[in-house]
Amino acid sequence: MGRTVVVLGGGISGLAASYHLRRARCPPKVVLVEGSERLGGWIRSVRGPDGAVFELGPRGIRPAGALGARTLLLVSELGLDSEVLPVRGDHPAARNRFLYVGGALHALPTGLGGLLRPSPPFSKPLFWAGLRELIRPRGKEPDETVHSFALRRLGPEVASLAMDSLCRGVFAGDSRELSIRSCFPSLFQAEQTHRSILLGLLLGAGRSPQPDSALIRQARAERWSQWSLRGGLEMLPQALEAHLTSRGVSVLRGQPVCGLSLQPEGRWKVFLGDSSLEADHVISAIPASVLSKLLPAEAAPLAQALGAITAVSVAVVNLQYRGAHLPVQGFGHLVPSSEDPGVLGIVYDSVAFPEQDGSPSGLRVTVMLGGAWLQMLQASGSVLSQELFQKQAQEAAATQLGLKEPPSHCLVHLHKNCIPQYTLGHWQKLESAQQFLAAQRLPLTLAGASYEGVAVNDCIESGRQAAVHALGIEPDS
């Protein structure tokens, strides 16, 4: 009888793992178990009354690097090429990003010219921060917070304005708690290898082999900064689901896994409410903290390491305004914690992807709320009402972008524990989890946003790697 691999979690990581398992020369039986009624996890796109697309989760995927290229290859394999909406290199959404500091929007400098010119809110041209970086000694710690790393190498303004905002934009997190080694591994490695981030990024780590396809070549030639899909990014998990079911993968929805136990012959029993499944191997693509509660007593050290990987919540408020105009054209702006503890940033969705606007006069923006403000509200047991988030978001859009009229359409979603936090020492949690799995030879592989990257590309790659590990061979070979 062939092997059975059970994949836990039908977000993009679990879908990617299932996809790559089925591509193996001798594919195992694959069962994908999802707790909710829909697949895709945080990737969710909904339509407004006029057909406009509103992204409740991710809204753009970066094509850069080997991982970006692999995702584009997947898109082509799923037959989605004609649905891709690129943001080309010469587009304002690719060129312009802003910081909201001191009550005003400031364009982040681009190119060498931009670095040489004074660029508020920074008091000196960023060229000086770069010069300082080149001569700083190499750090000696095995890990450091993003803030401390940036402060040491680039100075206080870059640390407290740029890196603080970046951590809020990518992780909805606090640069004083997040780990440079795990959140920005290329910066950490650049310092380790070349003593300087700038030297490291200039000299590069050597190009890893990249897949090739017509879409990848187009993305490179047109210098895409990101891309989406015509009907929203949820088209990607939907296409994966259709592909998997057509290839014989059993997809179970509405079946939360409530426990795992190890059988004497080394197989897993996966408990689903009233029923159970047997598996030779389990790929977990559910959040680490959820898995930690499902593991059997024999795996207590693993559960302890995984349970320490926390996540933060984000309130996503999609707003649509009739006949309104933005004061600037760009991807969006970020807000450092010193400026506003609750507003992480605003994405100008209509600039990057006007094709998703529905009616031409409907301007779409998304306000991301979170940070210390939301944590404080959650900790104090306050009522987290839709009205509260809508009011906060509308005020931010009015103050920061001049969108003072009431929106014509508004969606509010509080995503609880949606972004894992790679805090200082995250690498040690991963190392102890992997050491335990190897020492006990447990047929369990970890995938998903909890471990080595939260971006959609990272999650897809984690699913692919998990499939490689579970199969013991390269599935694409």
Residues of this chain that interact with ligand FAD (CB under 6 A) are 8-14, 33-36, 41-43, 57-61, 256-257, 285-287, 290, 314, 316, 415, 418-419, 448-449, 454-456, 459
| Alpha helices (runs of H) in 326-425, residue ranges in sequence order | 349-352, 371-379, 386-401
Compute the least distance from the CB of residue 165 to ligand FAD, in Å: 15
**Cα dihedral value 350, 351, 353, 356, nearest 10:** 20
Q: Strand 311-322 to strand 362-369: parallel, antiparallel, or no bridges (unpaired)?
A: antiparallel
Dihedral sign (CA 398, 402, 406, 409): negative
Closer to ligand FAD by Cβ: residue 155 or 169: 169
Compute the least distance from the CB of residue 61 to ligand FAD, in Å: 5
- Report whether 280 contacts 28 (CB < 8 A): yes
Compute the least distance from the CB of residue 25 to ligand FAD, in Å: 26
**Tokens 């640390």 sit at which residue?**
159
Compute the least distance from the CB of residue 38 to ligand FAD, in Å: 8
Give, for 244, the enclosing helix (H) or strand (E): helix 235-246
Closer to ligand FAD by Cβ: residue 133 or 234: 234
**Tokens 């004609």 sit at which residue?**
82
Closer to ligand FAD by Cβ: residue 175 or 450: 450
Q: Which of 288, 310, 311 is nearest to 444 (CA)?
A: 288
- Report whether 460 contacts 70 (CB < 8 A): yes
Instruction: Tell me the residue ranges of DSSP E strands in 349-459.
Output: 362-369, 409-420, 444-446
Tokens of 401: 């972008």
Compute the least distance from the CB of residue 71 to ligand FAD, in Å: 9
Closer to ligand FAD by Cβ: residue 31 or 126: 31
Tokens of 118: 């004074």
| HSE (side-chain half, CA atoms, 13 Å) at 200 | 16
**Cα dihedral value 330, 332, 338, 339, nearest 10:** 80
Compute the least distance from the CB of residue 11 to ligand FAD, in Å: 2
Compute the least distance from the CB of residue 252 to ligand FAD, in Å: 9
Closer to ligand FAD by Cβ: residue 101 or 456: 456
Closer to ligand FAD by Cβ: residue 34 or 144: 34
Closer to ligand FAD by Cβ: residue 129 or 314: 314
Closer to ligand FAD by Cβ: residue 148 or 417: 417
Closer to ligand FAD by Cβ: residue 142 or 254: 254
At residue 409, φ and ψ (nearest 5 deg) are -150, 140
Residues in the chain: 477
DSSP 304-346: HHHHT--EEEEEEEEEEEET---SS-SSEEE--TTT-SSEEEE
**Tokens 């060498």 sit at which residue?**
112
Closer to ligand FAD by Cβ: residue 424 or 454: 454
